[in-house]
Structure 1
Amino acid sequence: MADGDVPERMQAAALDEFGGPGVITLRILPVPQIADDEVLIKVWSAGVGVWDAFEREGTLVPEGTSFPIVPGADAAGSVAAVGRQVTNVAVGDVVYVYGYTRPKGGFYAEYAATKAQYVAKLPAGLPVEHAGAMPTDALTALSGLDMLGLSAGAWVLIFGASGGQGHLAVQLAKRQGLNVVAVASGAEGVALVTRLGADVALDGHGDLAEVLGRIREVAPDGVDGLLAMAGGETLDKLTEALRDGGVLGYPHGVQPEPSERPGVTVRAYDGETGPRQLQRLNELIEAGPFQVHVAEKFPLGQAAEAHRRLQTSFPGKLLLTVA
């Protein structure tokens, strides 16, 4: 079923070879056809993440993908058409999506086809203009928090807290009743995580002995869990803040990978999606105003420029505006 206004062709940012940001160009492609278990999304905005750069470079290409490749793992928009078996959304619904596999192309396009199980209605409290930047990072942050398995009242340290996944993890952790120590980047990052409800907000670029001292003041026995959105020497030092038997979790892709050490369990995780995870995420988001911090927006035709911006540091997320 379709809304009758779906064209045969669309604009998309795509690539015909792997390489640097310059391989992504704007072109006209056919609008993908949907199967019975799929949804056609009219894309309003698409998130720009490091995984998109990995896809562009050829190091993380979803199964079944072929050139021309349209990148983009997540988006927000409206449902333009649904397959015959689809019951969770209807034509016209405003939705967000994290497309785990996307053989018919990603979301750097005016239209994209995706499995219905990856699609959820936009929850109350989530501003639609920034929703496209949220799905992959929010679902990955939720997977990380689930993996830590902490009870309400426990202390969690989030390193890289002002980044795309980190600033969402801060909000999701607070909604699960956790006490949050957010280690962010610079004064701007500290201000962001403070605004988002972190109990303690510290600058990871500052004196680490001082940072560890502040953490010990609030959690004398150490924090119960640590989510690391970045690796390296700062993380190695911050691991001292974990209590004996604490867990350090990090999303796959963090480099250098955190090393094992006595008394600390180190576990990697991936963002999980599907009806159950999407429902849980929506329930947590609807618990109050939820902010997706967008550092910069780019029109679809400037997708290559957005990928160049990815190589710099910024708080929050980058967003492609499509419709």
Structure 2
Amino acid sequence: MSTPTSQDSQEPNAYHLPVLLKETLDALAIRPDGIYVDLTFGGGGHSRGILERLGPKGKLFAFDQDSDARRNLPDDARITFLPHNFRHVGRFLRLHEAIPVDGILADLGVSSHQFDEGQRGFSFRFEGDMDMRMDRRQTLTAYDVVNTWSEQQLHKLFEQYGEVTNARTLARTIVGVRKTVSLKTIPNFRSALNSVVKGNPNKYFAQVFQALRIEVNDELGALKEMLQQVPGLLSIGGRAAIITFHSLEDRIVKNFFKKGSFEDEDLSDPFGQSTAPPLLKVITKKPVVPGESELRQNPRSRSAKLRVAERQEPPEADRPKGKH
């Protein structure tokens, strides 16, 4: 497939190819009259797939904090677009009196459109500013981070969010060079750090930019806030399908789906009594990954992992008392 250009970037498929589309739609087990939520609308590919399986009474709520996504909205009365970060999903679904919902989808990857728009600053391949804001209403940019954070803060950031091998040296170099060189643009940033690059420069800067993007957009914090709301938003039997693109996200989703927490450790107390069972049942014992044909068509899907969980009945003691 050809690389999207500025002329064709208005087309939904050029904006972003939906990853694991059929697998995700099948996993959601869409009911024609159900209520569904696409937390990462982007190019609208997953939303279109959901709409195709919905009947005339079905509803879809689509979230996206990037204002560029709105242009991809289909002319369909069943869809409601909400221009907000998905960490606020519960608040806005309550405003629309849409709880409970039958399915929730999130594709956590940065869209191809965002990577290919040089002025957004998401890719080290272009000559834009060090920006990286998904929601351009916010003030913090990647330039603010590299220009004002302490060496210790930068070291921790690149080590934890980018798994950069020489994170300490990188942080020290940034703090040193920013005294005499402006790091506001991507070319300046790359040029100033060429001396500390380890291994393949493309892979190295991909890790550095990933760390900055995660921090600027508080991606992991937003993911945790969203996941904590999911069990309370889903109807019994409703499903959540989350597509991740790196190990930090995948570990968070895996642990929450399995244990209802974000920790790797077993949550049994010291006396051997387990905590309350999670309200979600894991449907995908192993994550679903793209097949060979999708990888050929969309190489950017290579690190995608889909995990699916289903809302269970609460434990007997927690169920509301009523007539039987």
More strand by share: 1
Q: Which has the higher helix share?
A: 2
- Greater relative contact order (Cα 8 A, min sep 6): structure 1 or 2? 1
TM-score range, shorter chain: 0.3 to 0.5
Larger Rg: 2
Q: Give the structure-1-normalised TM-score.
A: 0.37
